[in-house]
Amino acid sequence: MIPTITAFEQSPDRGRGLARDMRVRWALEEAGQPYEVRLVPFGAMKEPAHRALHPFGQIPTYEEGDLVLFESGVIVFHIAQSHAGLLPDDANARARAITWMFAALNSVEPPILDLVIAKLVEGDKPWAKERLPLVQERIRARLGELSRRLGDAEWLDGAFSAGDLMMVAVLLRLKPSGMLDEYPTLAGYAARGEARAAYKRAFAAQLAVFTGKPASG
C-alpha cells in the first residue's frame, strides 16, 4: 500500500528542506518505499479535516490504509520498523539506534528549536538580545558533547541508521545560523547524510513543491 504524507503547500523555507516532512521523505526514500504527498494550505491545517489526522493542526502526517500517524519521530520509526535497512537486526544495536532517534528529538532538537523561536518569533521582544546568547550557549554545549561522542566515526553507532537520519535532519536545521560550521566533525557528519542518494531524492522532491518543477531522477 502506498502511504500518503502531508507537507506545506507553500513551504516557508522556500524548499530548503527545513520542514519536518523532509525527514519523513528521506526515511521513505532510504526504505525504497514509494509515497504520495498531499500538500496542505496554511488555512486548511487548522480545519477539522486536517485536525482529524493531526490534533495540533501541523504537518507531517502519514496515512497508510487504516493507519494515521502524526509526529515526524514516530513516522520515521514506523517506516524504519516496517522496512529493512534503517534499523539493525541485532536487538541491542537496534535499541541503541532508537536511542539516537530519541536523543535527536529530545536532547538536540529542543535547543535548536529555541534558537528558531528566539530569532523568528521573539526577535522583536525587548529581552530578545539578552536571551539569544543563552540559547546559543545551550546549543554549543550540546553540539560539543555530540561532536566528542561521534569523534572520527562515520555514523553514531556502526552502520547508518534511523538514528543518524534523525540526528542529521535535526542538525541541518542549524545550517542557516552558521553554527553547525563551528563543529567540523558534525558539519562533516551532516554532509555525509546530505550526500546519500536517498537524501538527495527527498530534498529534490520537497524543493519541487516550491519551484513547481518536477524532481528529476
**Distance separating alpha carbons of residues 48 and 89, to the nearest angstrom:** 40
Q: Does 28 bind ligand GTB (CB under 6 A)?
A: no
63 touches 4 (CB < 8 A): yes
**Distance separating alpha carbons of residues 23 and 148, to the nearest angstrom:** 24
In this structure, what C-alpha cell is assigned to residue 92? 541491542
Task: By CB under 6 A, name the one of 15, 53, 58, 193 that touches ligand GTB.
Answer: 58
Q: Does 45 bind ligand GTB (CB under 6 A)?
A: yes
φ, ψ for residue 69, nearest 5 deg: -125, 150
Task: By CB under 6 A, name the one of 5, 15, 18, 30 that touches ligand GTB.
Answer: 18
Task: By CB under 6 A, name the one of 5, 37, 59, 202 that touches ligand GTB.
Answer: 59
Minimum CB–partner distance for residue 155 and ligand GTB (Å): 22
Contacts of residues 134-141 at CB distance under 8 Å and 24 or more positions apart, as own/partner, are 135/111, 136/179, 138/111, 138/114, 139/111, 139/112, 139/114, 139/115, 139/174, 139/179, 140/179, 140/182
Task: By CB under 6 A, name the one of 12, 41, 133, 184 that touches ligand GTB.
Answer: 12
Lay out the site mask for ligand GTB across 71-90 (x = CB under 6 A, - = otherwise): xxx-----------------
State the DSSP code for 32.
Answer: T
Q: Does 13 bind ligand GTB (CB under 6 A)?
A: yes
Residues 98-157 that bind ligand GTB (CB under 6 A): none
86 touches 161 (CB < 8 A): yes
Of the pair 81, 106, the CB lying nearest ligand GTB is at 106
Minimum CB–partner distance for residue 191 and ligand GTB (Å): 20
Q: Does 194 bind ligand GTB (CB under 6 A)?
A: no
Binding site for ligand GTB (CB under 6 A): 12-13, 18-20, 45, 57-60, 71-73
